[in-house]
A and B are shown apart, each in its own frame.
Chain A
Amino acid sequence: MAELWDGLREAIRLILSGDSYLRDVAFRTIVVSGSATLFAMAAGVPLGYWLARGRFRGRTLLLSAVNTGMGMPPVVVGLVVWLMLVRSGPLGGLDLIYTQRAMVIAQFIIAVPLVVGFTAAAMQALPEHLPDLLAVLGAGRLRTLWLLSREANLGLLAAIMAGFGAVVSEVGASMTVGGNIQGSTRVLTTAIVTETSRGQNDRAIGLGIVLLAMAFAVNLVLTLVQQRRLR
């Protein structure tokens, strides 16, 4: 219990002092997880729409695969990506291992099934003839996707929050493919692991509180947007 209070005090001290280690790690967390989520939305929303509305063989199979993918352990994704990108692996020549880009790739893979799943559910809930209506009105594919996304925006905002929440809080993949290198690939979650393994529990809890505060801030903005839309 005392350690939790210590952690809270440490968190406040870190934030108020503008500690540069914290700023470095927190900024990188936003950059990596934010861009991974953005890319996952760019790929996942059209895929989710196609899955929801398309009529093709094997659609149910694909939907099940996506739902399974939502529960995929991030550490497993990290291991597979690591095996691909490491020097001795098939894509070793790309020199991507232990870089931020590798972390974005791994987090992208983790987030996509979530985004696709949530988007598909949101699109399926739309009125049945809405895509047809937009088609006959003459909306092109991109325009249709945009308009439908606006209609399904509650579900899509849930998709962003789910995707971001999953990747900003995961540690296994980020650790494995990023290497937790200070000043280069260390993010909040991997920094917490480092502090814990060194026995610095109060710093670990402090960083944890910062991470929670950051995730809360992002979700607050998104929820505000979502709730305004309802009105």
Chain B
Amino acid sequence: MRLARLLALAVLPFIFAAVSACSGDDSATFKPTPASTPTAAPTPTPTFGSVPHNVGGSMILATTTSTVDSGLLDDLVPLFTKITGTEVKVIGVGTGAALDMGAKGDADAVLVHAPASEKKFVDSGDLIDGKLVMHNDFIIVGPASDPAKVKGLKDLKAALAAVASFGPFISRGDDSGTHKKELELWTTAKIDLKTVKNREETGQGMGATLNIADQKSGYTLTDRGTFLALKKNLKLTILFEGDLSLLNIYHVYAVNPARHGGVKNAQAEAFVAFMVAPEIQKLIGDFKKAEFGEPLFIADAGKAEDAVGR
């Protein structure tokens, strides 16, 4: 019965696969190496006294795609799991979707960077125990030739007006934190979207959007981190930075267990405590500093909200 044997051989890997999938062990046998290079200076073993140990269980963290793409969580989450014993499912979606998940109780903790949008959910009581974590900033990048003459301008409004009158401007257009920030900036500068010359919405992530801006020699608003990571492949350069309005501020919240029965509150609170723990704040400040020559994030835990960036 050669056929039977052949078929059995062909089916065997699939049976093995089925058994693996059912055994409930979600992580495959192989553990991937972390995306970033480890930080250079050896530090004394931290004690993480402020973070609860032996919490166990699992939790869902809703955050944004750009946060995931920065690679920061690839370093922090395994550390969190080691300390607390809690497995974290990091779900990277658009800011709107992440806040929505919090509002519905589909996530246990939320880490986002759109304070204006977050306010609504804090007021409604869905997100509680919010803590300021860190910030990075947005920059305006464009072609090296800079036809709109943005470089050298000191005022944000002037820079935006210059870009608007010359174009093309490439927008994320995907309801992400970056997209929301962009719309906020146009509104504050009193520039009507329709008057921005050759404005296009890509509907895609920051990396893809930067590639498109590069192809079209256009201007775009980007977070510093993504730009630094892709700089070597792009012909774009930084043309404006530093205004306080360009700050991108991150908060972490736990989802209110009183409003949503199934949330894993112990794990979520442990995560909140973790993100603002002094040891983690130091790691955040050192993240990719060696690689890029400058820090990607500035740690802010404990500061007053309006003291950020000053």
Contact = CB atoms under 8 A, between A and B. Distances in A.
A180 interface: yes
Contact of B28 (A27, A39, A194, A196): A27
B32 A228 contact: no
Given A30-B13, A199-B211, A199-B233, A104 B21 contact: yes
Interface string B144-166: 00000000000000000000000
A203 to B, nearest CB: 11
Contacts of B6: 225, 228
Contacts of B28: 24, 27-28, 31, 183
B30 A99 contact: no
A97 to B, nearest CB: 8
A58 B208 CA distance: 49
B30 A23 contact: yes
Contacts of B17: 30-32, 34-35, 38
Among A20, A95, A179: residue with most chain B CB under 10 A: A179
Contacts of B60: 87, 97-98
A148 interface: no
Contact of A86 (B20, B27, B69, B106): B106
A93 B260 CA distance: 12
B260 A87 contact: yes
Contacts of A150: 3
B24 A101 contact: yes
Interface in A21-49: 21, 23-25, 27-28, 30-32, 34-35, 37-39
A20 B32 contact: yes
B210 interface: yes
Interface in B24-60: 24, 26-33, 58, 60
Interface stretch (B86-94, B177-185, B269-277): B86-94
Contacts of A180: 92
Interface of A: 20-21, 23-25, 27-28, 30-32, 34-35, 37-39, 86-88, 92-93, 95, 97-101, 104, 150, 179-185, 194, 196-201, 221-222, 225, 228-229
- Top 10 A-B pairs, shortest CB-CB distance: A199-B207, A197-B205, A35-B18, A34-B17, A198-B207, A24-B30, A21-B32, A31-B17, A34-B14, A35-B21
